[in-house]
Structure 1
Amino acid sequence: MDENSAKVNITIAKNYDSEFCGSIPLHLVNLIQPHGILLVLDRSTLRIVQASENAGQHLYIPVEELLEQPLSLFLPDGQLEELRTKISAHNNQEKIPLSLTWQAKGEQRSFNALVHLKEGQLLIELEENTETAAERSFIGLYQQIKYITSLLKQAGDTAEAADIAASEVKKLTNFDRVLVYQFDPQWNGIVIAQAKEESMDDYMDLRFPASDVPKQARDLYFSNPYRLIPTRIYEPVRLIPIVNPLTQRFTDLSDCNLRSVAAVHLEYLANLGVMASMSLPLIIDNKLWGLISCHHRDAISPSYELRSALELLSGIISAQLAAKEKERAILLRAKLHGVHGRLLGQLYGSPDFVSGILSGDTSLQHLLALTGAAVLYEGSIWTSGETPGRQELKELAGWLRRSKTDRLMATDSLPHLYARSKDYKEVASGLIALPINADQGEYILGFRPEVIQTVRWGGDPNNAIQLEPDGKTYHPRNSFATYQETVKYTSLPWQAEELEAAEVLRSSVLEKIIKEK
């Protein structure tokens, strides 16, 4: 069994995901960070209807004079036509990257732009183009990404690929610390790889509660390729006018890279001892698998070109991690297929299915890495290895029947579901149940013993959220000192490939039973 997989998939009894944190309406944050400018336009006329208050500092014209003006007054004809062409051909939610030259009052300035199409509006995020020729070198970034990709392909497994990713992203960005952070099934995150300066705190193998990245924030990673906070000490910039004239409500900034950051998260960064951060999603099979989290002790603002390269690189890293996970699954399936083949031959060569799967050179225990197995069928009970007692097995089957477990069921924390099993947790903290005739309480049962494990958290997860007396204002934990939790009543987890093998075996057993009758 893959050790890293087991660590990530430990079942934590308490749910640390926070509906309270996840209820913050991020789409109604009507402020942006000051390292860029936001313009809101009427999509049909390209008339500017809303602008961030800092626009006047960068666009040579006061915000009040920008409003209600057509964008055509400020862009070269060729760029305006390019913008019109791209938005007319664009029907999905992807952002359109452009280079724009702003012209006003005899002055001009070059910007990198991201264009969003939303509800009859055009949102344009502008960041001044200050990169040098060397930073704008496509060849340079292409060569670096190709080199990192080649290293990732050579990695032997997921852990090694994650190590390479952390190390190479740190070299590429010069952040003080880069973490590769994988979500467990309950959305707690565990640091599976780390590259850092010696003076930075060590977070390797630490787990962070799901409330650190609540659901709403997790969902936004599907529309935002990265989240950058160049400095946590900044004055948020409001939009003028405050209410969008086109919608008569706040402008939805959830997809904007410039969207301002909740005060509680800035406090979280301060408690981490960092000034700047950047995070990139790792998305596998259209699910958020994890994050690459970058921290810096001082303010830092990666160039637009570098961020674009990181956006591409996070996709490549995701693909390589997916490939390593797929390779692991293929190898495990091949191994299980071989065991299943031998077990199948034994099953069909035996006088009855019970002796076919519990006795002989290959057994159910070999197939599913069990320490004990039992069959309850037609009023009789057969066992192999370490199992609960006969009466306890009857009661367990009764609980399964009452729970209407008529399909394959597996848990690595049976005592959390069925309290009476605490009496025999040493042999049966993990259960897999293959129904034969669920209505009659007839099952094939497999058991795994309790494996007491120590989970190391980055701070006490029970104090992850500290509410003020008003019940509305809250603060993040102020300490990330390692907090150890002993996890009891759990076994090693069941892997998807093992569940597939169990289902195939169940079908074979049912087929043999039908033939015997």
Structure 2
Amino acid sequence: MSDIQVDLTNCDREPIHLLSAIQPIGFLLCMTADWLVARASANVIDHLGQAVDDIIGLPATEIFAVEALHDLRNRLTGIQGPDAVERVLGIACIAARPRDLYDCALHFSGEHIVIELEPNRREDYVDSASVIRSMMARLDQPSDLAGYFKTGARQLRALTGFDRVMVYRFDRDGSGEVVGEAARHDIGSFLGLHYPASDIPQQARALYLRTPFRIITDLAAEPVPILPARDAIGAPLDLSLSVMRSVSPIHIEYLKNMGVGASMSVSIIIEGKLWGLFACHHYSPLCPSFQKRTIAELFGQMFALKLESRDRQEAAAYENNARRATDRLMASVANDVTLLDNPEWVGETLRAIIPCDGIGIWIGAKAACGGSAPPLDALPVIARRFNALAAGRVFSTDHLAEIVPGADAYAAQAAGVLSIPISRSPRDYVLLFREERVRQARWAGDPHKPASYGPNGARLTPRESFAEWRQEVRNRSEPFSAAEQRVAETLRVSMIEVVLRLSDAAETERQTAAERQELLIAELNHRVRNILALIRGLVRQSRDSKARAVDYIALLEGRIEALARAHDQITQDNWAPALLRALIETEAAAYLGGRRERVEIEGEAVLLDPAAFSTMALVIHELVTNSAKYGGLSDSGGVRVTWARDDAGDLIIDWREFGGPIVTPPLRQGFGTTIIQRSVPYDLKGKAEVWYKPAGFEAQFSIPARYVSQPAANLSQTGTAPRAAAVTDSTAPLIGKVLLVEDSLIIAMDAEDILMELGAVEVRTVSTVAQALESLAQEKPSVAVLDVNLGEENSFPIADALKAAGVRYVFATGYGDQLRLPDAHAGTPTVKKPYTAASLSRVLEGG
């Protein structure tokens, strides 16, 4: 005997549903599928006047009244599901006793039909509808859970008459606590007491789910056996769904130790799980009527539904608030992922979502802690443990020391934790810690049961004493609720999404940047060659043997300045939407000068956003360049550009050349042609088509609506094209000496000539800040022209010195409209490179 291992599973293995006996509050008949008696309880003789042996094998028609049998069969057909039980109240079913009324319960047990019959007690009749309506109305009155539990216990006690009715809630570890109670005033209170998980064996919990109602009317009553005890294959009758099922000897012993004479339990089932029980005790035998017991079972279901509704409303309110806070957190992290490296900020933000005392962040094998948290060197150990236990999912515990060796050393700061993995692979975590909550657990007696070898074999003996027993609970925190874990899961998904999106975006951005860099290098090379070729062409085509040299220079300078303004148009207005017409006119003016009217333009005023404007600037540039070289603009012809928006809001741009040489398709596709045909589809996801018609090249582009907008009503699309500047004979002469600061020798030499042409007495040229300041120290000039960018330095210190000395100065820059001057020099006259005598003269006159 001593070799037998005694543990909690001994009670768990007790076959409480196969006891082959019922309580003596009625009798039982077991029928075959064709309604022949297969078994019966031994007390049938008290109700039918016949012994079990006399009725075995009899058809149901010889026992039940015809109408009653018909009613029972109809009820049986209404059973839905394997664990359903049908009830019939106050039916005259026994043929031999037509005056006697019975309450019946019917269910299936395997292939057999089990009918349990209990004498109807008319004196205990109540109006079911009124009672249930009243009980439900009272449940709606309490504002908090404690009041709700107490009201539920009071309602059930008033209905059934038990001395004590408790609301018993199961904890996560299977133990339970009395959270609500209604009891006779002279028997004390169990409210707040805890009971170990072993008090209710696993098979009993399983039955509480299958049969949500259980009654024990008299612990001292002798069970009534079912005969025969076993069928032809030696199996006892499964009484899992029986309302009269006899009671386990161990459970009887347990209740007797508590002084209980009768008990009843009603399961509280929420979302398919056993949340708890109504546990009812009476200190003498008690048997509420079958009708009241049925109402009690229905009340338990309604109580659970309303409790679930309360929980869901509270959880929904919490989760909605938490999700709004989560959205704000994710928006902040999405804008600045480095915030995750700041545990104080993350902790403060997360406390508004999931209450915690401290936070730990483990990202890329780097640890950071804030608030009440373990030491930094403990985070790698915790992270590795979670990698093994709960990789990739939210995990929480209120007893960290149970899963992490040595965690009891810092339990005061971090006794419980909620881990939120924030990466695909199990390596990065946000850990929310809760401090130890030392508390006194009140148990109904010492929960450590002694082992014994009693009449029912080796087992854990039920406690004999249920006097309050206190236990100090340490190394545990406040548990994380189910709602908090759901919010944590939302956080996990959101954080992973943000982190992955940022990672993917960074990778995509790097790849795009590399591709764009290659494209820009090729484009730069292409454009530099084109510009050099264009300037050479401008020099050649502008020659006129009859023109004066000064007129020739003026015309050439005007065309070069127009070309510079055309390129500047791509990046003007600080990347704000810009007019399409201005883009086309700028490009036309750059190439055609005074003959830009050869480009006919027609279309409503539309703006292109920076991405589309930049792309179309490249396309238009190539179209104009090609047309000037080979198409309508190369001869006496021209180009007609029209646009309009279609029904979808997309902008359709048509380019048609006319009057030029006969067009033939190119034998090879160069880089410029690639830009024309692929830029719009590739960059803007629009469309581009080209046609090499003999009469003239044609192209059509479709710009998606998201890139197109209408300008403000007061923004005109006329007069926006740059005009080629011309040097007049009335340029104002410069008096005195000029300081020229320029780091490019060729540009400096050109500028010297222009300044001397404008009347400078002397031009002193330097290329660095130091040289300029040294020159100022020696002699003050009349005016200074400062190149803004001097390689690794800028000319603002020189401007500061000139301003302090009262010397007039202007800036020269190649940045165009993107130049941002310091506040000290805001409003200073600026000339854009490449500047001409005319443009520099205007700036110096205005300066």
- Normalised by the length of structure 1, the TM-score is 0.89
1:406 corresponds to 2:396: no
Alignment of 1:171-186 (within 5 A): 171-186=158-173
Instruction: Please give the per-residue CA displacement for 1:54-79, whole angstroms capped at 9, x wherever unaligned.
Output: 11112222333222222212322222
1:106 deviates by 6.9
Aligned length: 496
> What SS class does the counterpart of residue 222 from structure 1 fall into?
helix
1:24 deviates by 0.5
1:188 is matched by which residue type in structure 2?
S
1:279 deviates by 0.8
Measure the CA separation in 2 of the matches of 1:78 and 1:426.
72
Measure the CA separation in 1 of the matches of 2:498 and 2:36.
74
2:122 is matched by which residue type in structure 1?
E
CA 1:59/1:341 → structure 2, altered by over 3 Å: closer, same or farther? same
Q: Is this contact kept in 1: 2:330–2:495, CA < 8 A?
A: no
Measure the CA separation in 2 of the matches of 1:166 and 1:464.
32
Match of 2:29 in 1: 39
2:339 is matched by which residue type in structure 1?
F
Q: Which moved more, 1:309-318 or 1:105-114?
A: 105-114
1:126 corresponds to 2:129: no
Instruction: Please give the per-residue CA displacement for 1:415-458, whole angstroms capped at 9, x wherever unaligned.
Output: 11112222211111112222344868433222111111211111
CA 1:465/1:97 → structure 2, altered by over 3 Å: closer, same or farther? farther
1:61 corresponds to 2:47: no
1:152 deviates by 1.1
1:35 deviates by 1.0
1:40 deviates by 1.1
Measure the CA separation in 1 of the matches of 2:318 and 2:432.
19
Measure the CA separation in 2 of the matches of 1:63 and 1:243.
14
Measure the CA separation in 2 of the matches of 1:250 and 1:290.
30
1:348 corresponds to 2:337: no
1:30 is matched by which residue type in structure 2?
S
Instruction: Please give the per-residue CA displacement for 1:128-171, whole angstroms capped at 9, x wherever unaligned.
Output: 11222xx334xx23212211111212322332211110111111
CA 1:106/1:299 → structure 2, altered by over 3 Å: closer, same or farther? closer
Match of 1:235 in 2: 222
> What SS class does the counterpart of residue 491 from structure 2 fall into?
helix
Q: Is this contact kept in 2: 1:161–1:320, CA < 8 A?
A: no
Q: Is this contact kept in 2: 1:388–1:424, CA < 8 A?
A: yes
**Aligned counterpart for 2:264 among listed residues 274, 278, 282:** 278
Alignment of 1:67-466 (within 5 A): 67-88=56-77, 90=79, 92-93=81-82, 94-98=84-88, 99-103=90-94, 108-132=99-123, 135-137=124-126, 140-245=127-232, 248-350=234-336, 352-354=338-340, 358-359=344-345, 362-401=348-387, 403=389, 405-437=391-423, 441-463=427-449, 466=452
Instruction: Please give the per-residue CA displacement for 1:93-122, whole angstroms capped at 9, x wherever unaligned.
Output: 312222542445576522111112233311
1:101 is matched by which residue type in structure 2?
A
2:119 is matched by which residue type in structure 1?
E
Q: Which moved more, 1:283-292 or 1:502-511?
A: 502-511
Instruction: Please give the per-residue CA displacement for 1:8-32, whole angstroms capped at 9, x wherever unaligned.
Output: xxxxxxxx99321110112320111
Measure the CA separation in 1 of the matches of 2:257 and 2:453.
16
Measure the CA separation in 1 of the matches of 2:108 and 2:43.
22
CA 1:467/1:460 → structure 2, altered by over 3 Å: closer, same or farther? farther
CA 1:153/1:396 → structure 2, altered by over 3 Å: closer, same or farther? same
> What SS class does the counterpart of residue 381 from structure 1 fall into?
strand
Match of 1:502 in 2: 488
1:331 deviates by 2.1
1:191 deviates by 0.3
- Normalised by the length of structure 2, the TM-score is 0.55
CA 1:78/1:207 → structure 2, altered by over 3 Å: closer, same or farther? same
1:191 is matched by which residue type in structure 2?
V
Measure the CA separation in 2 of the matches of 1:316 and 1:68.
42
1:267 is matched by which residue type in structure 2?
E
CA 1:488/1:237 → structure 2, altered by over 3 Å: closer, same or farther? same
1:404 deviates by 6.6
1:189 deviates by 1.3
1:482 is matched by which residue type in structure 2?
E
Q: Is this contact kept in 1: 2:41–2:225, CA < 8 A?
A: yes
Q: Is this contact kept in 2: 1:411–1:430, CA < 8 A?
A: yes
> What SS class does the counterpart of residue 352 from structure 1 fall into?
helix
Q: Is this contact kept in 1: 2:437–2:474, CA < 8 A?
A: yes
Q: Which moved more, 1:65-74 or 1:354-363?
A: 354-363
Alignment of 1:461-480 (within 5 A): 461-463=447-449, 466-468=452-454, 472=458, 475-480=461-466
CA 1:103/1:171 → structure 2, altered by over 3 Å: closer, same or farther? closer
CA 1:447/1:111 → structure 2, altered by over 3 Å: closer, same or farther? same
Measure the CA separation in 1 of the matches of 2:7 and 2:131.
37
CA 1:87/1:353 → structure 2, altered by over 3 Å: closer, same or farther? same
1:307 deviates by 0.8
Match of 1:13 in 2: none
Higher helix proportion? 2
Q: Which moved more, 1:317-326 or 1:78-87?
A: 78-87
CA 1:414/1:172 → structure 2, altered by over 3 Å: closer, same or farther? same
CA root-mean-square deviation: 2.6
Measure the CA separation in 2 of the matches of 1:360 and 1:279.
47
1:48 corresponds to 2:37: yes
CA 1:58/1:422 → structure 2, altered by over 3 Å: closer, same or farther? same
1:301 deviates by 0.9
Instruction: Please give the per-residue CA displacement for 1:244-296, whole angstroms capped at 9, x wherever unaligned.
Output: 35x54211112111111111211211111121111111111111111001111
Q: Is this contact kept in 2: 1:60–1:104, CA < 8 A?
A: no
Measure the CA separation in 2 of the matches of 1:223 and 1:403.
32
Which 5+ residue runs of structure 2 have no aligned equivalent? 1-5, 507-847
State the percentage of identical aligned residues: 29
1:351 deviates by 5.8
Match of 1:9 in 2: none
1:20 is matched by which residue type in structure 2?
N
CA 1:197/1:77 → structure 2, altered by over 3 Å: closer, same or farther? same
CA 1:331/1:53 → structure 2, altered by over 3 Å: closer, same or farther? same
1:306 deviates by 0.7
1:121 is matched by which residue type in structure 2?
H
Q: Which moved more, 1:22-31 or 1:387-396?
A: 387-396
